[in-house]
Chain A
Amino acid sequence: VLRRTLRSAARLLRPRTAASEALAPLGSMAMADATFGRYDRLSFVSRRPVRAGLGGEHRSRRRAPSTDFVDYRPYHPGDDFRRIDWNVYGRLGSLQVKLTEGRERLDLTLVLDCSASMAWGEPDRLTFAARVLAALAYVGLARYDAVQVVCLGQERGATLLGPLRGRVRFPDVVALLSSVRGDGEVDLSTRLTQSLPGVSNQSLVVLVSDLLAPSGVEHGLDALKRDGADVVVIHVVSNAEANPNLAGDIEMVDAETDEVLEVGLSVEALERYRQRYQEWLRQQETVCAGRGLRYVRVNSDGSIDSAILNDLRHAGVLR
């Protein structure tokens, strides 16, 4: 109890977080454009028809008056005369109506896991995840999507921002992400079922997390699935976690629960751990695939460009 109290006090007294230092330069739009400007042409790919309202830049499955020509179809009584293509009638002698495609906004919810395990590593994964989330928010805001940012922590609960539209709101996103810190134990399953208001079957939910929960995250993902949301799970991993360089007798302290586990590490035990870790990664991928969710694994030791332009594009989250 004393240890937890001291850790909580230390967390409260900590003046700045690594995430705040990493994201502080993005507070101005000029810097944000300079940093994320190369993501201007990217947009999210949703498996659901988007219906957050007209005015976005996502192709809609609905046929709506616009300048974006899609196809012709024969005229039926009741159709608007103004949509008859008279040039076709003059050439073919039949009445054809021009079909156009509406452009709609995407309802985008970006969820950041702010548990203490995310703040582990050097550099810590939370900073990397916050920068990835900022880049995704930039992409969404640049496409006039309705962007909602949710940070899941222990002490501060779920912090919500949005929906926001337009790049001018990007500094708000940076301000929120600059304040995040690794925050104790977060039960992702419970939080995902409770803290995501407004998620519908038209939403695209992007979860950025390390998925480290002893009880798993299946229930939370099932809840999102029940809402009909299109879910993308971005799994943040690190090399130090996959290939630890440890030996001897060690007291392992859980970053979230402060649970202590005494282990004596031999070569055999380390090899066994690596196998177990790879099995666990495959299990997370299977959990997502089994629910029809898109799963992307990004390495926090890599660059943001690599995560956005390679991992997420190859996974079909962005195009």
Chain B
Amino acid sequence: VTILAPLALIALIIVPLIYLIHLLFGSRKRLRVPAVFLWANLPPAPSARRKRRWPPLTLLLLLQLVAAILGALALARPATPADPPRHLALVLDASASMQATDVAPTRFDAARARGLERVASLRDGEMVSVVRSGTTASLLTSGAPQQGRQALATAKPGAGPGTLRDALALASAQVAATPDLRGEIVVLTDGASPPLEPLGVLAAPVEVVPVGGGSDNQAVTALQVRIEPSGREQVAYVEVSNYADQPAQVTVRTLADDAPLDERAVRLAPRGQTRVSVPLPADARRVTSRLLGRDALSLDRAPASTTCCSFRARPRACAARSRPFRSRV
């Protein structure tokens, strides 16, 4: 409990004043009589020998004291921090890495379950906003907890990178629109996004809830075909990246026009990458390269293909970093 107007506690001085008034005037009953000279010099009663006596604790005195104390405390405006209703802004990471299955059934479903738990903790009258961080940030809903539950239930993961920065800005704007509610931004993510650029001051503190991560994750991040200067040969350059915190060894298989061309084991340093060059037949028209074995993100085992002209392969989304973290953005 905090006191919002502590100076008002000065009003508590009324309490001893009330007691003083009872002490001075309240102990005796006042009565008007036609003349006091007829009452003078009567034999005194034993109770009248002391002029001032402590006032008896009568119901009237008690009520007056309680009323004065409560009034002074009310003027001081006591408040409890949990009193204001909340506005929960959930940022749901819908990047491709959220489809990783290292958490059953997927990271996205685990994040959805965490979000539903947070929504379940809301009371009537509190608000929830759900922001989906896919290739673009979008507001799924903003309203009562029931609407938040429906939005989470119908949310789907994306196949591209997340835009967590835009999603946080959108969530902050939603919280700022309700200044009478206590804002709270919760980011449900696997943390597999690049470091965020500075966002400035947000409207509410941010809590990051990590989902999954920590599993082996390697991927073909680039596939490029170059023609030798002689113009007779062409070489495929396959870039393989390791997003795990430990070294890994993967097998890279390369196909030319769907015919096996090369298969080799590659050793990767933690969070490192390496390039593999594969000479191609001169008449090869299409090159495909993929990693063999199982990966937390099934997309990372999909083949990367390119025609035999120079191009940059679409980078695969990386899997989550293994260490969970909480931070303020």
Residues on A lying within 8 angstroms of B by beta carbon are: 117, 120-121, 210, 212-214, 241, 246, 248-257, 259-266, 268-269, 272-273, 276-277, 280
Between-chain CB contacts (< 8 Å), 22 pairs: A120-B33, A210-B34, A212-B34, A213-B35, A214-B37, A241-B34, A248-B29, A248-B45, A248-B47, A251-B28, A251-B30, A254-B33, A261-B36, A264-B44, A264-B46, A264-B47, A264-B49, A265-B42, A266-B45, A266-B46, A272-B42, A273-B42
Across the interface, do A253 and B31 meet the contact criterion of CB distance under 8 Å?
A: yes
Please measure, in the bound complex, the distance between the C-alpha atom of A224 and the C-alpha atom of B48, giving whole angstroms: 44
Q: Which chain A residues border B45 with CB–CB below 8 Å? A: 248-249, 263-266, 269
The binding surface of chain A is classed by DSSP as mixed
User: In whole Å, how far is A301's beta carbon from the nearest beta carbon of chain B?
Assistant: 14
Most buried by A among B35, B37, B45: B35
Across the interface, do A255 and B48 meet the contact criterion of CB distance under 8 Å?
A: no
Across the interface, do A273 and B43 meet the contact criterion of CB distance under 8 Å?
A: no
Across the interface, do B43 and A266 meet the contact criterion of CB distance under 8 Å?
A: yes
Across the interface, do B42 and A255 meet the contact criterion of CB distance under 8 Å?
A: no
Across the interface, do B42 and A269 meet the contact criterion of CB distance under 8 Å?
A: yes
Q: Which chain A residues border B36 with CB–CB below 8 Å? A: 252-254, 257, 259-261
Residues on B lying within 8 angstroms of A by beta carbon are: 27-40, 42-49, 51
Q: Which 4 A-B pairs have the closest CB atoms?
A: A264-B48, A264-B45, A117-B34, A266-B45
Please measure, in the bound complex, the distance between the C-alpha atom of A177 and the C-alpha atom of B33, giving whole angstroms: 24
Q: Which chain B residues border A260 with CB–CB below 8 Å? A: 36
Q: Which chain A residues border B40 with CB–CB below 8 Å? A: 261
A-B contact sample (13 more), CB < 8 A, given A254-B33, A273-B38: A120-B32, A212-B35, A248-B45, A249-B28, A249-B45, A253-B33, A257-B36, A261-B40, A264-B48, A266-B43, A269-B42, A272-B42, A280-B38
Q: Nearest residue in A to B48 (C-beta to C-beta)?
A: A264
Please measure, in the bound complex, the distance between the C-alpha atom of A120 and the C-alpha atom of B31, giving whole angstroms: 11
Please measure, in the bound complex, the distance between the C-alpha atom of A213 and the C-alpha atom of B29, giving whole angstroms: 24
Q: Which chain B residues border A121 with CB–CB below 8 Å? A: 34
Across the interface, do A249 and B34 meet the contact criterion of CB distance under 8 Å?
A: no
Across the interface, do A254 and B35 meet the contact criterion of CB distance under 8 Å?
A: yes
Q: Nearest residue in B to A249 (C-beta to C-beta)?
A: B28
User: In whole Å, how far is A22's beta carbon from the nearest beta carbon of chain B?
Assistant: 19
Please measure, in the bound complex, the distance between the C-alpha atom of A39 and the C-alpha atom of B30, giving whole angstroms: 42
Q: Which chain A residues border B39 with CB–CB below 8 Å? A: 252, 261, 263, 273
